[in-house]
Structure 1
Amino acid sequence: MPEQFHRPVRRPSAAFDNLVGSTDSIEAVRVAHATASALLTRARDDSTGESAERLVAFTAEHGIDDIAELWAGAAAVSLPGALWRLYLLQLAIHSDPQTSALLYERGRVQLASADTVVAGAPVPASPEEIVALIDTILRGVFRGDFAIALERAAAFCRVQVSGATDLADDYEKTEPARSTGLTARARRLHAYAGDLSAAAGLWRVDGLS
């Protein structure tokens, strides 16, 4: 993926290291946006790529709770909302790469669109390759073209939506509980895809904050 930097990211007034959570809803929104902007700026300003690598590996070392405290309540189509959804997607794939690869492959076969090309997974993709793909997409957020990274993530979600929906149909009569779970997963991924695509569009017109 080419490393393009279309524009500088707005810096918050406070340093990222000194920002903390708040129970006040207005302050929590301010903190969410400020930390997201500061984190993205820090990673993009680091020409060594070390900051980006640490951020890609963050959830494996620290879990999701610290990120959730900052960004989970942010609007879906916002900078912190987009980053939160990307981290949730990464966590889900790292937690169960076998199921993620199964859904992706089933969706790839069923879906007649360019989403598989946009997402960029190998054909067919192993669980390890699916994990590598989501890490590559997240790395693109911090070092490459932010909008393209969001669009790749959205495309990945749409492929998995197709796979989860198709697999849910298979289990509807024999394992209804599993079918219900897959349907819920498809619904959630569909929402993520729409949110990430909308965020990519706003980023391109300098409207994502």
Structure 2
Amino acid sequence: MAGGADPGMVNEIAHSSAASLLDRVRHSEDPAVVARVLTVVERDGVDDIAELWSSSPSDSLPGVLWRLYMLRTWMRTHRDAIARLWRVGEPVATSASAIAGVDQAPTEDDIARLADSILSGAFTGDFAVAMERAAAFTDVVALGLRVEAGRLTTAAKEREMDVSGDGSMDGTGDGDVDAQAMRAKAARMLHTGANLMTTAKDFHHAANLWRRGKLE
């Protein structure tokens, strides 16, 4: 459309397409339909879904489906690192493993299967339960990122002290560069963790809205 699409029309298409897709899969007994829905990003790319849903608010059906698709893509792309972060962030006494449906020490293949299970569960099972599984998972991975960031920050401090102790800390030495790199990586981890915590809250809120019949 010349001049850009009308925001109201975009919003209407986003909501109607999300509701139609969810309804279509729920009423289908063909596993191939579910498989196509799961793999739409790998098959067709993310652009079409982004155009439809990415601008929708997090408390809407298209908005939360967008977040689910992005979570699945992220989990499958970084499955090895995420498996390690889960093992770091999963406390000894917690119900997160049971809620998310993953072992306390998952492998990268477990993470890939979980990614598919959460998204398919939103279409074929209890939508609210799928949201709670996604929230529990992102919460623990966010905790793992915070723990790892703390370890890196501590290591950076120790590195700085070591360099300072030998009298060579002038802001240009290799030790100083190493410490700065550690701090930068820790900052990125904290930023990602904060985004995941926000996403977990979005999933929790979506579950509550769905149970009240208000997620549209």
Q: Give how far 1:47 is off.
A: 1.3
Which structure has the bigger radius of gyration? Answer: 2
Counting aligned pairs with the same residue, the percent is 34
CA RMSD of superposed structures (Å): 1.3
- The reply on whether 1:53 has 2:52 as its aligned counterpart is no
Which letter does structure 1 place at the counterpart of 2:61? L
Aligned length: 187
Superposed displacement of residue 36, structure 1:
0.3
Q: Where does the alignment leave 5 or more consecutive residues of structure 1 unmatched?
A: 1-21
1:52 Cα offset (Å): 1.4
Q: Deviations over 1:127-157 (max 9, x none)?
A: 1110100101111011111110111001101
1:100 aligns with 2:107: no
Give the C-alpha shift of residue 182 in structure 1.
Answer: 0.7
Contact 1:49 1:143 in 2 (8 A): no
2:174 paired residue number: none
Q: Is the 8 A contact 1:74 1:81 kept in 2?
A: yes
Q: Which residue of 2 aligns with 1:159?
A: 140
Query: Paired residue for 1:6?
Result: none
Contact (CA 8 Å) 2:119, 2:130: kept in 1 or not? yes
Corresponding residue for 1:193?
A: 200
What is the distance in 2 between the residues matched to 1:117 and 1:97?
19
Q: Using structure 1 for the length normalisation, give the TM-score.
A: 0.85
Q: Which amino acid aligns with 2:207?
A: A
Alignment of 1:67-146 (within 5 A): 67-109=49-91, 112-146=93-127
**How far apart, in 2, do the equivalents of 1:74 and 1:195 lie?**
12
**Secondary structure class of the residue paired with 1:109:** coil
Q: Which residue of 1 aligns with 2:191?
A: 184
Structure 2 unpaired stretches of 5+: 157-178
Distance 1:170 1:98 in 2: 19
Q: Is the 8 A contact 2:97 2:103 kept in 1?
A: no
Contact 2:49 2:66 (C-alpha < 8 Å) held by counterparts: yes
Q: Distance in 2 between matches of 1:144 and 1:163?
A: 28
Structure 1 equivalent of residue 172 of structure 2: none
CA distance in 1, matches of 2:14, 2:190: 30
Higher helix share: 2
Using the TM superposition, give the Cα deviation of residue 90 of structure 1 relative to its aligned residue in structure 2, in angstroms. Answer: 0.7
Q: Which piece of structure 1 moves more, 112-121 or 86-95?
A: 112-121
Q: Is 2:149 the counterpart of 1:168?
A: yes
Distance in 2 separating the partners of 1:45 and 1:170: 48
4+ residue runs of structure 1 moved beyond 2 angstroms?
Answer: none
Separation in 2, partners of 1:79, 1:23: 21
State the Cα distance separating 1:50 from its structure 2 match. 2.1
Given that 1:43 and 1:49 are in contact with CA atoms closer than 8 Å, whether structure 2 keeps it comes out as no
Give, in whole Å, the separation in 2 of the partners of 1:63 and 1:171. Answer: 35
